Amino acid sequence: MPRRLLLLGLALAALAGCTSVGVPVGQRVPAADAAMEPVPFDSAAVNFLVVGDWGRNGFFNQADVARGMGRVGERVRSRFTISTGDNFYLAGVDGADDPKWRRSFEDVYTAPVLQSTWYSVLGNHDWMGDVPAQIAYSDQSDRWHMPAQYYAETLAVGDSAEALFVFLDTTPLASPPEYQQRFSDSGDWDVEGQLAWLEETLSGSDAAWKVVVGHHPIYVGSIRYTDNERLVELLVPLLERHGVQMYFAGHDHNLQHHRPEGSVVDYFVSGAGSLTREVIETPNTLFALRTPGFMAVSMTPTSADVQAYDEDGVLMYQAQVPRRRGDRVPLPFGLDGAPGR
């Protein structure tokens, strides 16, 4: 669709009272267009970046994405970065002194704003290497943070709220039992233990925000993957029951936003840190785009703005997630990521 026609359609929809018009799947809209000017982030909010599937020694657009993260992160005053896994291709790391730490991490993400904490999870490619080494590197690095295969952190959001961030190890959860033999035996493949821990962690928190991060998407619009039925069965009931507002994943090498009909959870995919993969539209898709890139999030006590950027730091999409369903406030021209819902 020509850019002028797209913007005309957005404007007419807004004038007609339509409060929710999404960006078409695969459509790139330059940030210079008024409809895609980024919603400003409040510097007092909890602002952070989300990137995944990046560890390729700076190649396949990884270095470009890192530079874009540096520029956007500085502008939004990002406090930390979340890595959604597949931190090192093709087979994780061999140890805490593996040269990949320097070539794919330390020497790539050099912008000052990216020297803050990286809350990281394991991906399936990380499971092909030394799993404990990624945990051990937390003791050697001022910014790499992975204290265990799965863990949780609670952060203050302003003076009146808290956010619980839960970081999962989804490879055991998302994979059929027979797949375990494909991976390293250095990690703890404890499905039931992790699920029991997740239930206890979510139920035991009264945080205003609950955000869960895992490598594998639950819902996905991809030429390679379909919705992960194991995660739909194992995780979705827990997320819904305990009031989780957002689930962030990687694994699919693109940028996506999904919300199943009637769901109280928004599902995001930020796995475009290097090599990318084509997208498709599904009934749950609000946005999907094949481009190297990352996401930026701004969380206040009442709402969270989620923005998707390409490797040049150009805004591709933005959505608002309310703390409580029903509090959604449309963004300019209805770009709130909720078409018809």
**Do the Cβ atoms of 69 and 292 come closer than 8 Å?**
no
| pLDDT tens-digit map of 38-48 | 889 998 899 99
Q: How many CA atoms lie within 13 A of 67 on its CB side?
A: 7
| pTM for this prediction | 0.87
Per DSSP, the three-state class of 60 is coil
Output the CA torsion 174→292→69→144 (10° steps): 30
Predicted confidence at residue 2, as pLDDT, reads 38
| pLDDT tens-digit map of 270-329 | 999 999 999 999 999 999 999 999 999 999 999 999 999 999 999 999 999 999 865 544
Give me the mean pLDDT over the 76-99 stretch. Answer: 98
Name the pLDDT band for 30 (thresholds 50, 70, 90). Answer: very low
**Do the Cβ atoms of 142 and 198 come closer than 8 Å?**
no
Residue 318 amino acid letter: Q
Among residues 327, 330, 293, 321, the alpha carbon closest in space to that of 72 is found at 293
Answer left, alpha or beta for residue 149, where phi above 0 means left and psi between -120 and 50 means alpha: alpha
**Do the Cβ atoms of 25 and 283 come closer than 8 Å?**
no
Answer left, alpha or beta for residue 222, where phi above 0 means left and psi between -120 and 50 means alpha: beta
| pLDDT tens-digit map of 169-191 | 999 999 998 899 999 999 999 99
**Do the Cβ atoms of 291 and 310 come closer than 8 Å?**
yes
Beta strand 255-258 pairing with 285-289 = antiparallel
Predicted confidence at residue 326, as pLDDT, reads 55
pLDDT exceeds cutoff 90 at 166? yes
pLDDT exceeds cutoff 80 at 5? no
The C-alpha atoms of residue 304 and residue 321 are separated, in whole angstroms, by 5
Give me the mean pLDDT over the 178-206 stretch. Answer: 95
The C-alpha atoms of residue 198 and residue 188 are separated, in whole angstroms, by 16
Quote the mean pLDDT of the chain: 87
The C-alpha atoms of residue 22 and residue 47 are separated, in whole angstroms, by 23
**Do the Cβ atoms of 161 and 207 come closer than 8 Å?**
yes
The C-alpha atoms of residue 6 and residue 263 are separated, in whole angstroms, by 28
Residue 161 CB-density burial (10 A; 0-12 exposed, 13-18 middle, 19+ buried):
middle
Per DSSP, the three-state class of 107 is coil
Poorest-pLDDT segment among 34-38, 143-147, 211-215, 313-317: 34-38
Beta strand 118-120 pairing with 255-258 = unpaired
Task: Report in angstroms the alpha-carbon separations of 280 from 10, 170, 182, 188, 222.
Answer: 22, 23, 28, 34, 5
Name the pLDDT band for 33 (thresholds 50, 70, 90). Answer: very low
